[in-house]
Structure 1
Amino acid sequence: MAHDLYVLGGAQTDFARNWAKEGLGLLDMLTEVLPAAFADAQVQSSEVQVVHVGNLAGELFAGQAQLGGLVAAADPGLVGLPSTRHEAACASGSTALVAAGADIASGRYDVALVVGLELMRNVSAKQAADHLGTAAWAGREAVDAEYAWPALFAEVADEYEARYGLDHAVLGRFAEIAFANGADNPLAQARDWAFPAGSFAEDDDVNPLVEGRLRKTDCGRITDGAAAVVLAGPDYAAEWAAARGLDLEQIPRLSGFGHRTDTLLLADKLDASRGTDHLFPHLHGTIHDAYRRAGLSGIDDVDVVEMHDCFSITGLVTLEHLGLVAGGKGGEVVHDGTIERTGRLPVNPGGGLLAAGHPVGATGVRMVLDATRQVTGRAGAVQVDGARRVVTVNVGGSFTTAVAFVVETGA
């Protein structure tokens, strides 16, 4: 990319926490995650020049909009800065990162704070599903479904089955790998969950159907949480590195990105893609935009993938759009060990959305944070040996918004 963006550091909250049960809310999340992010990045809040916030539905879940101002309320050092909230459904955090990168690349600012957050467990499951359903086309799709998003992604699974054939064992194995990875992640929502025999099979007792062909362990859970990173341009990052006795090549950077948006209605997207090589051509284009901007030939140049797996079918589809295998062939790399943490191309070594949890506005930021941990050898129990380049893939809605980043270090 012509103008690399450096990630100086960041932090996330524990995605297993239920903040409302603790009597806490969005402001409390910010007052916890921001100091931790600044400490990890070794910067003061007064060094930040611009703020970008990712959030889907603060006003629905918490009765709170104007989150740019809430960030300033959480840290007086941020008062007076330009601060903007970004919404793109589950890709809200990634679009905040894209905007921060544009700000730095433009030369207007040198240092940006990006924070994503969501409070989602303070309402009933049905009310949460209704709030999340606003990211679909209200009144036009999933209108008869109890849970809009499992229903819509069940339609994706039906389309996949119609085009290629689909054995639930593939979805079950994808989910099983995710939850096994999440068990080693100290901040994962599902790290302490137990899975009796049959949890990843077509077992109606322990793994019942939720909507369509999707079962309990095929479906990610929303949760509460926040993640934040501090980004810097190359000049500032070089000075920052030199002051700490580091080489700039040791600092993780966003070397490429892709960002595309398709039409809102899932049926329209699927209709338009029939007869093409991909269910979602714009997703394939987004990922390959990131490769191109990073100067990569493709997935063979990548060590780790942090991908959006809100449902197991989402993960399967994304595997194929990465260029790893052709359409309908994703099951091969799910079953042969390729995507396991010790495999040829580890996918979601910390558990992904299925196991790590999905506080919607925080997810894209968390992905980039986890990627920086991987490429600097700081991922702890979920570290992939030799990881130096990670691609992140974050989608919003029914693959409506797609954002990808290449995160790497030269050291």
Structure 2
Amino acid sequence: MIKTYILGGAQTDFERNWSKEGKGVVALLKEAMTDGLQDAGLSYEDIIELNKDNRIACYVGNFIAEQYVNQGHLGALLTEINPAFYGVPSARYEAACASSSVALDAAITKISNGDYDVAIVVGWELMKTVDSKTGGDFLGYAAYYETEGKGIEFPFPKLFGKLADEIIKKYGTDEKRFMDALAKISVINYSNGKRNPNAQTRKWFMDQNQAESRGMDTNPFIGGRLAVSDCSQVTDGATVVVLASEKYVEKHTIKNAVIVKGYGHRTAPMLFEKKMEDNKDSEYVLPWTRQAVLDAYRRSGLTVDDIDFFETHDCFTSSEYAAISAFGITEPGKEYEAVESGMIALDGTKPINPSGGLIGCGHPVGASGARMFLDLYKQVAGKAEGYQLKKANNGMMLNIGGSATTNYVFIVGKDE
């Protein structure tokens, strides 16, 4: 199988509100694409040349632009960026919050099969076009809408609040210890976000006392046990990742290339209650998430001991908490140990979300998978400005869609 390399990419500043700037999706995509191509050492002229021999394709990840910006047919929309995309194969991929991971999977597969030498993946979402209540209803389509989203205000905080309940119930974890661990996860991600020049919350404040003060005016409850500090952000943004074949890398004598080493993709039951029924015979609260991780380890030939850092889908603190054991960092039910010890902090032995994650960096739904993937690349390539880790030979990411319904895992590392 042909190796898949990462040439580079870019993300937009997740702090921005594109509607307030008077800009729409084409402006968003033009900026992200131009910056991403430049970082990868490509130009629009290169796209034209590659397309003459049908050696390039584009893959778009987006959840629900039909609602947020009244636009579909998003693969073809790339032709509005630049005429260089005329004739280039392109299509849109969707799996809720894992939409751009599906796009990445498709792109990697085509490179691995030898179909193309270059693949451009772009994930994006414009979410600040509507008020928060309307946006919450749109996001409900990522669940089983008729029973889990329709008529429910902010359905996803409630679903991941139920996940917190299930973790306490399944493992008999002390409630205060568990909730304090969730608070510390929030603090870590906000702290990491302050180092990231593209993070949405880099100017925000969060400390342990604030995160633990759930139910207060400054940190109101929003879904069961979860308060505002436990939630990811409503974000506008896009991320571009450029992938290439071994042939392309050798032809252009690209040194110290970063490679895709493994992946996992599993789908759990759609309904949250069925997920919880499904985990009764498993030691993991999210067994299909764990299986996606195991698949990535198997395909890469690596173990958790080989992974230097992680980017995970902290749409809520409870989802990051569950990911700790899914990665194999601790045994199931012992996740709090990794939090309390500082193991997952930026200076810990297994840092999670050096970028700030979805809580700190931001969560433009269709862009989050690509953003995490790009951050794996940045760390391994030594390009994570402001938040670069000392050791980053191999990184793993987990991107979930819905209430951990679609589970995508990628491992990225140095080509050794």
Structure 1 length as normaliser, TM-score?
0.96
The gaps in structure 2 that reach 5 residues or longer are none
Give yes or no for the alignment of 1:216 onto 2:215: no
Partners of 1:389 and 1:408 within 8 A in 2: yes
Give yes or no for the alignment of 1:187 onto 2:198: yes
Give yes or no for the alignment of 1:389 onto 2:388: no
Partners of 1:150 and 1:210 within 8 A in 2: yes
Residues 286-295 or 306-315, more deviating: 286-295
CA separation of 1:286 and 1:197: change in aligned 2, threshold 3 A: closer
Q: Take 1:19 and 1:122, find their aligned partners in 2: how far apart are those partners?
A: 9
Letter in 2 for 1:52: Y
1:137-163 superposed Cα distances (whole Å, 9 cap, x missing partner)? 011125563111001111111111111
Give yes or no for the alignment of 1:149 onto 2:175: no
CA separation of 1:317 and 1:197: change in aligned 2, threshold 3 A: closer
Determine the structure 2 residue equivalent to 1:376: 381
Q: Take 1:128 and 1:213, find their aligned partners in 2: how far apart are those partners?
A: 21
Determine the structure 2 residue equivalent to 1:354: 359
Determine the structure 1 residue equivalent to 2:248: 236
Partners of 2:380 and 2:414 within 8 A in 1: yes
The gaps in structure 1 that reach 5 residues or longer are none
Determine the structure 2 residue equivalent to 1:255: 261
Identity across matched positions, percent:
40
Determine the structure 1 residue equivalent to 2:304: 299
Query: Deviation of residue 381 (structure 1)?
Result: 1.1
Aligned with residue 63 of structure 2, among 45, 56, 67: 56
1:117-151 superposed Cα distances (whole Å, 9 cap, x missing partner)? 00001100000000010111011125563111001
SS at match of 1:177: helix
Give yes or no for the alignment of 1:123 onto 2:122: no
Determine the structure 2 residue equivalent to 1:14: 13
1:78-123 superposed Cα distances (whole Å, 9 cap, x missing partner)? 1111111001000001110000111112221111100000000110
Letter in 2 for 1:209: F
Partners of 2:5 and 2:257 within 8 A in 1: yes
Q: Take 1:116 and 1:222, find their aligned partners in 2: how far apart are those partners?
A: 15
Determine the structure 1 residue equivalent to 2:110: 103
Residues 128-137 or 66-75, more deviating: 66-75
Give yes or no for the alignment of 1:264 onto 2:275: no
Query: Deviation of residue 194 (structure 1)?
Result: 2.1
Give yes or no for the alignment of 1:137 onto 2:144: yes
Partners of 2:190 and 2:206 within 8 A in 1: no
Query: Deviation of residue 66 (structure 1)?
Result: 0.7
1:142-181 maps to which residues of 2 (within 5 A)? 142-143=149-150, 145-164=152-171, 165=173, 166=175, 167-181=178-192
Give yes or no for the alignment of 1:281 onto 2:287: yes
Partners of 1:305 and 1:391 within 8 A in 2: yes
Q: Take 2:34 and 2:368, find their aligned partners in 1: how far apart are those partners?
A: 19
Query: Deviation of residue 195 (structure 1)?
Result: 3.1
Partners of 1:142 and 1:152 within 8 A in 2: no
CA separation of 1:197 and 1:386: change in aligned 2, threshold 3 A: closer
Partners of 1:92 and 1:361 within 8 A in 2: yes
Letter in 2 for 1:70: L
Partners of 2:2 and 2:114 within 8 A in 1: no
Aligned with residue 93 of structure 1, among 96, 100, 125: 100
Determine the structure 1 residue equivalent to 2:74: 67
Q: Take 2:270 and 2:160, find their aligned partners in 1: how far apart are those partners?
A: 14
Partners of 2:140 and 2:150 within 8 A in 1: no
SS at match of 1:103: helix
Q: Take 1:30 and 1:144, find their aligned partners in 2: how far apart are those partners?
A: 33
Tell me how many residue pairs correspond in the alignment.
Answer: 403
Aligned with residue 311 of structure 1, among 312, 316, 319: 316
Q: Take 1:225 and 1:201, find their aligned partners in 2: how far apart are those partners?
A: 29
Partners of 1:142 and 1:151 within 8 A in 2: no
Query: Deviation of residue 44 (structure 1)?
Result: 2.3
1:327-351 superposed Cα distances (whole Å, 9 cap, x missing partner)? 1111110010100111101110110
Q: Take 1:52 and 1:199, find their aligned partners in 2: how far apart are those partners?
A: 41
Q: Take 1:70 and 1:347, find their aligned partners in 2: how far apart are those partners?
A: 35
CA separation of 1:305 and 1:196: change in aligned 2, threshold 3 A: closer
Determine the structure 1 residue equivalent to 2:326: 321
Partners of 1:145 and 1:151 within 8 A in 2: no
Partners of 1:51 and 1:113 within 8 A in 2: yes
Letter in 2 for 1:185: N
SS at match of 1:370: helix
Give yes or no for the alignment of 1:198 onto 2:209: yes
Q: Take 1:402 and 1:197, find their aligned partners in 2: how far apart are those partners?
A: 30
Q: Take 1:389 and 1:195, find their aligned partners in 2: how far apart are those partners?
A: 30
SS at match of 1:88: coil
Query: Deviation of residue 275 (structure 1)?
Result: 2.7
SS at match of 1:310: coil
Structure 2 length as normaliser, TM-score?
0.94
Q: Take 1:263 and 1:82, find their aligned partners in 2: how far apart are those partners?
A: 32
Give yes or no for the alignment of 1:24 onto 2:23: yes
Partners of 1:227 and 1:362 within 8 A in 2: yes
Q: Take 1:196 and 1:272, find their aligned partners in 2: how far apart are those partners?
A: 36
Deviation beyond 6 Å, 4+ runs, structure 1: none
SS at match of 2:209: coil
CA separation of 1:335 and 1:197: change in aligned 2, threshold 3 A: closer
Q: Take 1:134 and 1:54, find their aligned partners in 2: how far apart are those partners?
A: 16
